Each structure stands twice: as structure tokens, then as C-alpha cells.
């Protein structure tokens, strides 16, 4: 897992090559909305992309993480299926519902039943390198979802240049990122992280939470500003949070009123816990800042898992769940 995280910049580069070489065909559908369906490590790329394109996509882009799909999905919907293994049961069922609704379907996968269905039914699809844990392949799914949105005219996002600039940034900051990640992991060790991000960067907060869950084997939670100011902030009223470490993900383009909220939140929270941690992104664009944070928090999860002496690759609890479901 350490090697896979270290290879994130090179994965982004390979992802651009895959996107460029993808053989996609046109459709005469009159799209009015987009649904990206996928879960866990397969789905987080779509979650992040939905925020990246929110302010310039021609139509609403939604994410779906369930067996079912919304009732509004129909012939004018583009459904992007993201399943790294190609065998995610929730996603496979969602594909069936999307087909019944008459939606246009495009798939991002490394194989499995999704690849077989895409080939047998002549669906647009992009194949990824296989054989790795889905959570370590976010570079591939994220870039291919961007490619599909551009291909179908949902966006006109020059993501290729932005990804290239992101690779340059990550390569130039490689040592700094790892040093910072190690410091953060040392602070988190033995604590219960509460991860906060401003609206527009929730996908990164979710990524951080998921990686701490799967790689570091700890529980944590996340919330978003300003929404948490209308509920969760009131929960910081007890003197029982000494073991909770609030972590704020900060970005230069966070809305000014939300940046002010962060400062006030810190004042409130510091009355109940001894320390607040801030993680600042780097980069000149939202995509660069997003990929910087993704790479940084992935390293945090690696270092924390190593400090805790856990098996970074172990997902036996998830495998047990899948085994039990297969018996039903």
C-alpha cells in the first residue's frame, strides 16, 4: 500500500494516457443530468469530480451510492458506472435499474461483470489496470470520469493540463508532503479525528475518513462547513473531548464567509479540546489543491497505520460481510 500511495503522481500520468487512448462513441441522447454510481474506493473519484465540475457543468451531476437509483433517471440521463473490480453488487444492480430507465451508460472498471456487460451490450467503457485495492486506484477513476464528462459535452474542462500541473506540483513537493504527513500522523495517533472541510471540498474529507478507516484501521467522522455550524457545533458543549482531534482542511479558494466560520469554530472548539489541527492545500487551481490534499491525507493514513502496527491491506471485515451476503 505504501508503494501504491507513493506512485500516485505516476498513476495520474498513466491515467491521462488511458483517457487519451479511450475509444468512445457518440450518442444522440439529449442529456439533462448525470448520475455517477459507485461505492467506496471505486466511487470516491466520482464524488470528488462532482464537486470539481459543480460550477461549470452544463447539467446537474449527482453521485449515487446505493442499489437503487433516483426516479428522475431516464432517457436524458448519463449514468457513469464506476466499479474498479467490476463486481460490486450494489453497482451491478444500479446498472440494471439505469438500463430499465433508458439511460445512457458509460463504465469505468478494470474487469469483472461490468466489463463483460459493457462489451456484450456495446456500452461505452474505459478499462483500468487491475489487481490492486480499489482505494489505491482513485487517480484512474477520477481522471476517467472527467474524460467521460468532457466526451459527452457535460463539461468543457481542460483537465489534462490541470492534471499535468498537479503531477509537477506533487513531484516537486514529494518530500515536504511526506514529512508533513508524518507529523500529522504523530498528532492523530491515539486520538479520534473529527475532519472538517468547507463546502466544495467534502470529497477530500470523505477520502481522508475512508483512508483512515481502511488503511489506519481507526474510526473518525467528517462534516462540512457551513452545514456543521447549524447542528454539530452545538455538540461541542461537553468537557469530554480531550481525546478528539479536530482537523480543518483549508484551501485558498474556500468562500470568505466560510473561512471566517472556520476561525470562529476554532474558538468554540478550543474551549473543549486542547488542540486544533489545520491542513492547508497547495496549488493554483481547485483540481491541483484537491489532488494535493488527496495525496497528503493518503500518506497520513499510511504513516498512522504503520505506527499502529496494523496490516494496511487487511479488509477482512468487508470480506466477511460480502461472504455473508453471498449466502442470502
Picking from 186, 208, 235, the residue whose alpha carbon sits closest to that of residue 290 is 208
- 230 is an active site residue: yes
* Active-site position among 117, 214, 217, 295: 214
Helices (H), strands (E): how many in the chain? 13, 9
214 is catalytic: yes
Residue 80 dihedral angles phi and psi, to the nearest 5°: -95, 120
Q: How far apart are CA 197 and CA 279, in angstroms?
A: 10
Listed residue (182, 191, 166) closest to 8, CA to CA:
166
What residue ranges of the chain are covered by domains with CATH 3.40.50.10490?
A: 2-160, 173-308
Q: What is the per-residue pLDDT for 241?
A: 78
Distance from the Cα of residue 123 to its chain's centroid: 24
Q: Do 72 and 60 touch, CB atoms closer than 8 A?
A: no
Give the pLDDT of residue 240. 73
| 80-106 pLDDT, tens digit each | 999 999 999 999 999 999 999 999 999
Cell numbers standing for residue 26? 457518440
Cβ–Cβ under 8 Å, residues 322 and 236: no
Query: Looking at domain 173-308, which CATH architecture does it have?
Result: 3-Layer(aba) Sandwich (3.40)
CA distance 9 to 15: 10
**DSSP letters along 307-324, please?**
HHT--TT--HHHHHHHHH
Preceding amide of 267 cis, omega within 30 = no
**Segments of the chain with pLDDT less than 50:** none
Of the candidates 101, 56, 55, the residue with the CA atom closest to the CA atom of residue 78: 101
Q: What is the pLDDT of residue 242?
A: 80
What is the DSSP secondary-structure string of 152-194? TTS----HHHHHHHHHHHHHHTHHHHHHHHHHHHHHHTTSEEE
- Of 294, 300, 292, 132, the closest CA to residue 215 belongs to 300
What homologous superfamily does CATH list for 2-160? Glucose-6-phosphate isomerase like protein; domain 1 (3.40.50.10490)
Q: Which of 46, 56, 50 is nearest to 81 (CA)?
A: 46
pTM: 0.96
Distance CA 179, CA 189 (A): 16
pLDDT for position 237: 86
Taking residue 225's Cβ as centre, other Cβ atoms within 10 Å add up to 24
**Are residues 200 and 49 in contact, defined by beta-carbon separation less than 8 angstroms?**
no
* pLDDT tens per residue across span 2-56: 999 999 999 999 999 999 999 999 898 999 999 999 999 999 999 999 999 999 9
- Active-site residue identified among 230, 240, 263, 324: 230
Give the span between the Cα atoms of 28 and 178, in whole angstroms: 47
- Give the other-Cβ count within 10 Å of 197's Cβ: 27
Task: Please tell me the distance from the alpha carbon of residue 95 to that of residue 104, in angstroms, as a whole number.
Answer: 10
Residue 248: partners with Cβ closer than 8 Å, 6 or more residues away: 196, 197, 262, 265, 266, 276, 277, 278, 279
Amino acid at each position: 500500500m505504501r508503494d501504491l500511495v507513493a506512485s500516485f503522481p505516476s498513476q495520474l500520468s498513466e491515467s491521462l494516457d488511458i483517457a487519451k487512448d479511450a475509444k468512445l462513441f457518440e450518442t444522440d441522447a439529449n442529456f439533462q443530468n448525470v448520475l455517477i454510481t459507485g461505492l467506496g474506493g471505486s466511487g470516491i473519484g466520482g464524488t470528488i469530480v462532482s464537486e470539481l465540475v459543480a460550477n461549470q457543468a452544463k447539467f446537474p451531476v449527482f453521485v449515487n451510492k446505493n442499489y437503487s437509483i433516483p426516479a428522475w433517471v431516464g432517457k436524458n440521463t448519463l449514468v457513469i458506472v464506476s466499479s474498479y473490480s467490476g463486481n460490486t453488487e450494489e453497482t451491478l444492480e444500479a446498472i440494471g435499474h439505469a438500463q430499465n430507465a433508458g439511460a445512457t451508460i458509460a463504465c469505468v472498471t478494470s474487469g469483472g461483470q461490468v466489463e463483460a456487460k459493457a462489451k456484450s451490450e456495446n456500452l461505452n467503457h474505459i478499462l483500468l489496470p487491475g489487481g490492486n485495492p480499489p482505494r489505491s486506484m482513485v487517480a484512474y477513476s477520477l481522471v476517467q470520469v472527467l474524460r467521460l464528462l468532457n466526451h459527452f459535452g457535460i463539461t468543457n474542462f481542460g483537465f489534462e493540463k490541470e492534471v499535468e500541473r498537479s503531477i509537477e506540483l506533487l513531484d516537486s513537493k514529494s518530500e515536504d508532503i511526506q514529512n508533513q504527513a508524518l507529523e500529522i500522523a504523530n498528532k492523530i495517533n491515539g486520538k479520534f479525528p473529527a475532519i472538517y472541510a468547507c463546502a466544495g471540498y467534502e470529497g477530500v474529507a470523505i477520502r481522508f475518513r475512508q483512508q483512515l478507516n481502511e488503511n489506519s484501521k481507526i474510526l473518525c467522522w467528517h462534516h462540512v462547513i457551513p452545514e456543521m455550524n447549524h447542528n454539530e457545533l452545538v455538540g461541542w458543549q461537553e468537557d469530554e473531548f480531550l481525546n478528539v482531534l479536530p482537523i480543518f482542511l483549508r484551501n485558498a479558494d474556500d468562500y470568505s464567509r466560510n473561512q471566517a466560520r472556520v476561525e470562529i469554530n476554532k474558538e468554540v472548539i478550543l474551549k473543549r479540546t486542547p488542540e486544533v489541527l489545520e491542513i492547508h492545500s497547495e496549488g493554483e487551481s481547485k483540481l491541483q489543491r484537491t489532488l494535493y490534499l488527496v495525496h497528503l491525507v493518503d500518506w497520513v493514513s499510511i504513516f498512522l497505520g504503520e505506527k499502529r502496527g496494523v496490516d494496511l491491506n487487511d479488509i477482512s471485515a468487508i470480506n466477511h460481510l460480502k461472504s455473508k451476503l453471498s449466502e442470502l
